[in-house]
Structure 1
Amino acid sequence: MKYKGKSDYVRKPIPIAGLRGLWRLLYDNDIEIAQVEFAPYGGRMDEISESEIPFAHRSGYIFHIHYAVDWREEGDEAAQRHMNWIRRVYKYMEPYVSNSPRAAYLNYRDLDIGVNNNGYTSYHQASIWGLKYFRNNFKRLAMVKTKVDPHNFFKNEQSIPTLFEEGK
């Protein structure tokens, strides 16, 4: 089975018209498995400082959305159809979710928002996804990464970079 996930955070209730439009996107599709999951936030999470741990999406967020699509079909056409659907849903939700930057949940790594180079990736380039995942904690995490993993041994497609300049 193949899978693609994306995520968002919401600060204000989504109007009924917005939810109806989302429902239409879920109902009118030519894909195998589509889901949109809303996870409520608030309560105790609002009391924990954004900088207390790397996970910054706490105060002010009312819920998290996880969009997912799964398929068994083989071939590029099937993959593209499913990828296009989830990207269309994500684009549709843009007016209703967080912005500047649009936040995302790290554990649903969304490679659509950027990836590391094959080797060194600058802090500036990694900020494209780092600020979405970690908000204001990103620079602090890059400083820690520079101290504990100066040679960037531990990395993935969207890892936190060191603050060293390329080639140093």
Structure 2
Amino acid sequence: MRFRFPLIAALCVLFACAPAFAGKQKSCVTPDDATKQLNKDVCVQAHVYDVVELPDGTRFLDVCTPETPDDKCRFTIMSLRQDRDTVGDLEKMRDANIEVRGIVAAMHGRSGMVLSHVRQFYGGPPKFRPNPALARGFTGDQEKPAIKDPNLRPQGSGRAWMNTKEKETK
């Protein structure tokens, strides 16, 4: 019984200090501020005025006011056709305030963000896409490794300082 009070007191202090150790939640920025943060992972808070779909299935969330001409709009949120299943219906985002997390990238003279998964609306990361240049020439059924790693080749063959033709004689 006498050890119970210090244990309870220590747990109370631990839980009281927990918010101080937790990471600071990043605040969301406006689309204008996001244009200045290229190649950074940011949260963008915006109002969606329109959802535009191109014939190839690419969808855009228009975050510029209707009075802003298209050439003056400096930020866009884009969702590709292949991500339609993981993003879901974007029509429900029309005339709504949203928060989207993603990496700001340069897109044809303006800044933008690719929306590839619905979890980006809740602070989650975009969908992982492997780099095709790194996976080139690799299939799962081959026996050799996809890369030429010097640590994976046999050591000791063809050393210049010990030629097999020139052996020492005793």
- Asked whether the two chains share a fold, i.e. TM above 0.5, the reply is no
Relative to its length, the structure with more helix (as a share) is 1
TM-score after normalising by structure 1: 0.22
TM-score after normalising by structure 2: 0.21
Higher relative contact order (CA 8 A, sep 6+): 1
Relative to its length, the structure with more strand (as a share) is 2
- The structure whose Rg is larger is 2
